[in-house]
Structure 1
Amino acid sequence: MTRFTISLLAGVAVLGFASTTFAADLIVDAPAEAPAMAAASGNWDGAYIGAFAGYGWGTLTDEDGYWGTDGQEYAANGWQAGLTAGANFTVSEAIVAGIAADIAWADIGGDDEGGDFTYNTNWTGSLRARLGFDGGAFLPYVTGGLAFANNTLNDSGNYEDTQTHIGWTAGVGVEFAVADNVSLDLQYRYSDYGSKTYSLDGDYDFSLTSHAVTAGINFKF
């Protein structure tokens, strides 16, 4: 093999190596595919306890006309605050069922224009079913069940009686998950507590209804 041939082969080899190196430098790794984001979920299954507060308004109806005409209505309003407990169960991929109970201190009442008589709801409670849609980090729901209200009537300080009404309640709400075991709960409910007989200067029937808007916080365990 001549010296020229050897030199030519060497040059080709060097050129090939340089080309390969240059081509390798031009290769840019494709960016790694971003990991899929996990769907936000409230992980609603399980028992919980919580606290809430809100505003209530409603109507006391004088069924027998003790203070006026039969069926006369008197407005009531005020604040309430209480505790709740319950549990949720996943029924299907999108449906969450549950049970809930609550009890609240209340100061929801009023009086006649002259102040001759007063009425006040002292506490309320409920035992309800819930059915919601699992929206991940939020849970809109409907709710309904039994409702209780303890109410006092006072007539000019001469007659006073306290009775506990038992009726029904229904409403809607939505929970927002803010941590793995913490959620905020906004709720509206209408309650019809039915009629109860009060002993004043005789026996008289009064019925009670209310609306309530509450905000609360629940802790799952």
Structure 2
Amino acid sequence: MMGVSGSPLAADVSSSEAFNWTGGYVGAQIGYSASGAAEYYLEERTWNDDYDYDKTLRGLLGGVYVGYNHQFDNGVVLGGEADVTFSDIHASLLAPGDWAYEATTKIDRAAAARVRLGVAVDRFMPYIAGGISYARLNFHETNSVNSGSADANLFGWNLGVGGEYAVTDNLALRAEYRYTKYNNKSLFVDGTASDYAYDVKSNTNEFRVGIAYKF
């Protein structure tokens, strides 16, 4: 009797085992930069501030990510992750003191490497993440006669918070907010009339969703 009744009980216990987040994964994501900023200040201060720009960066992004998690016995999950995105994060603005001039900014690609720290609640895992970031920025300024442009590699740091849910043993959905602050950059503009330089400060505020395959 005991042998017969014990068999289905063992099967029930096995089927209710908690999900484990340990393992590698690869995923795809899309997102939107809602309220980033790019601030330009002319380095040559003998000029006035008519051509300083303060622009709000917005646009879509998409890319891939890859990483690895390790879940400890107490439910803490520690992992590392890297991602690459391609985007249309941009802004356009007339010069504050000279409306004949217009400047456009675009971030067309970015990458990040991060450490993630989460807590496993069975198939749900809230987490925080942070690390280093890279982006490629393009600046273009023009009026009816003259124009100037420059490209710059930006480096900085990122901090994010999100949640992930394993819908199956191999597929996990996520949603995340990420703030990225890039280092101040000296941007040398090659102009048709003259060359000049801007000090650039920039950041992004991004909301992302993704789906990953867990190995």
TM-score between the two structures when normalised by the length of structure 2? 0.81
Query: Does the 8 Å CA contact 1:55/1:80 hold for their aligned counterparts?
Result: yes
Q: What letter is aligned with 1:63?
A: Y
Larger relative contact order (CA 8 Å, sep ≥ 6):
2
Greater strand share, structure number: 2
Report the counterpart of residue 61 of structure 2 in structure 1. 80
Is it true that 1:117 corresponds to 2:98 in the alignment?
no
Report the counterpart of residue 107 of structure 1 in structure 2. 88
Q: What letter is aligned with 2:33?
A: G
CA 1:107 to 1:129, structure 2 compared with 1: closer, same or farther past 3 Å? same
Q: What letter is aligned with 1:130?
A: R
Q: What is the Cα deviation at residue 40 of structure 1?
A: 4.1
Report the counterpart of residue 53 of structure 1 in structure 2. 30
2:141 is aligned, of 145, 149, 155, to 155
Counterparts of 1:1-221 in structure 2, within 5 Å, are: 35-36=12-13, 38-41=16-19, 43-57=20-34, 58-64=36-42, 68=49, 72-113=53-94, 116-156=102-142, 158-200=147-189, 201-221=195-215
Q: What letter is aligned with 1:208?
A: S
Counterpart CA distance in 2 for 1:218 and 1:187 is 14
Report the counterpart of residue 6 of structure 1 in structure 2. none
Larger Rg: 1
Equivalent pairs: percent with the same residue?
29
Q: What is the Cα deviation at residue 152 of structure 1?
A: 0.3
Q: What letter is aligned with 2:39?
A: T
Deviation sequence 1:117-152 (CA, Å, 0-9, x none):
100111111100000001111111000000111110
Q: Structure 1, unaligned stretches of length 5 or more?
A: 1-31
Query: Does the 8 Å CA contact 1:62/1:205 hold for their aligned counterparts?
Result: yes
Q: What is the Cα deviation at residue 79 of structure 1?
A: 0.3
Query: Does the 8 Å CA contact 1:65/1:72 hold for their aligned counterparts?
Result: no
Q: What is the Cα deviation at residue 198 of structure 1?
A: 1.2
TM-score between the two structures when normalised by the length of structure 1? 0.79
Deviation sequence 1:129-179 (CA, Å, 0-9, x none):
000001111111000000111110001172111111000000101110011
Q: What is the Cα deviation at residue 39 of structure 1?
A: 4.1
Q: What letter is aligned with 1:198?
A: L
Report the counterpart of residue 192 of structure 2 in structure 1. none
Counterpart CA distance in 1 for 2:120 and 2:56 is 38
Q: Structure 2, unaligned stretches of length 5 or more?
A: 1-6, 190-194
Q: What is the Cα deviation at residue 197 of structure 1?
A: 1.5
SS in 2 for 1:179: coil
Q: What is the Cα deviation at residue 70 of structure 1?
A: 8.9
